[in-house]
Amino acid sequence: MAPSDPGDNVMPPAFVDPVALAPLQPGADGVSLIAADSGTVYPIRAGLADLVHPRPQPTDPAPPQFDRPLPAVEEAFLRWTFRAFGGDEEALRRKVIDKLDLAPDAVVLDNACGGGANTRLLQERLPRGVLCSTDISLELLAHGAGRFATDTGCRTIWCGANALYLPFPDQSFDAVLSTGGFNQFGDPVRAIAEMTRVTRPGGRIVIADEGYAPWLQQTLTGQMVLNDNPLMACAPPLQALPAVAQEVRLEWHLGNAYYCLDFRVGAAPPAVGLDLPHEGLRGGTIRSRFAAMRQHRETGAEG
């Protein structure tokens, strides 16, 4: 979808092939984008670039069937969740967005944005910035794109994308937000690696989703909550964080049913003095002690 009124704002990132990260060229038909190297064609549907990879196949399982349109299902689920667990939705979203530490002219990715539950609040924080909202569901994207103003001063761009194959160049964003979708991405390590890839050093990544606090899961209430929604058993993806993660923070909100994990993307992993000699009789360094331990294990295995 075309961005909102650009004014003098910063430029949005260019789309790239989500597989090879190669540039995309407009198709001659005017309703597609074509990968420069592979020739892969990505359609533009109702003004929305569909950059989802892999492409849906006839053999894929049928999507779940609901008694109402998907945007209405999402909105009903959110209403019920905040009523059931006793929270104010807008207040919580504002608190989560605060963690992005946004400048007014920042370039931000709302990854798996659904129908745009965060859009208005992010637009308010970005009066001279850019907001890229992506989701794997074009139905939800179209719903979101059709209900938010485009004259806010914030360039707002919507496109279809798989969170495991983000269609943006490296270091495209000052911050990345993902709320309510991470537990279903399928590959947490790759998902966080992709978010890290497209974030500039110094930027923050915020991931928030269902996950009942571990100290409550064995209570009677916890067992009922997990039975009602198996996603509540999901744990924050700490083991999937990259080596460059810094200033890591983890909180639970919404009756301890919703985790919020965020970190700053560093330029490199933390430096450690691996060759700094220890003081004392044992001596050695971190590196030499590790080498001695490995040699001892290998010698023992041979014996």
Q: Quote the pTM value.
A: 0.92
Q: What is the pLDDT of residue 8?
A: 55
Distance CA 163, CA 185 (A): 7
- Res 300: pLDDT: 78
Average pLDDT over all residues of the chain: 93
pLDDT more than 90, % of the chain: 86
**What is the pLDDT at residue 3?**
43
Closest by Cα among 179, 115, 139, 154 to 12: 154
Quick one: pLDDT at residue 303? Answer: 57
- Which secondary structure element, helix H or strand E, spans residue 222, and what is its range? helix 220-228
- What is the CATH topology of the domain spanning 24-265? Rossmann fold (3.40.50)
Q: How many Å separate Cα 265 from the centre of its chain?
A: 13
Q: pLDDT value at position 10?
A: 76
Distances (CA, A) of 77 to 80, 84, 113, 229: 5, 10, 15, 11
pLDDT tens digits along 284-294: 999 999 999 99
What letter represents residue 164's amino acid?
Answer: L
What single-letter DSSP state applies at residue 235?
Answer: P
Average pLDDT over residues 247-265: 99
List, for residues 127-145, the tens digit of each pLDDT value: 999 999 999 999 999 999 9
Q: What is the pLDDT of residue 247?
A: 98
Sheet holding 173-179, edge to edge: 24-26, 32-35, 41-45, 48-50, 155-160, 130-135, 107-111, 173-179, 199-210, 258-265, 245-253
Q: Would you list the domain boundaries of the chain?
A: 24-265, 273-303
Average pLDDT over residues 96-100: 99
What is the reported pLDDT for 55?
85
pLDDT average, residue stretch 191-205 = 99
Residue 243 Cα distances to 178, 215, 237, 268, 271, angstroms? 20, 27, 13, 8, 11
Confidence band, pLDDT 50/70/90 cuts, at residue 1: very low
End-to-end alpha-carbon separation of the chain, Å?
67
Asked if residue 68 has pLDDT above 80, the reply is no
Confidence at 7, pLDDT banded by 50, 70, 90: very low
For residues 202 and 267, give the distance between their C-alpha atoms in angstroms, rounded to a whole number. 7
* Angle, in degrees to the nearest 10, between helices 138-147 and 70-85: 80
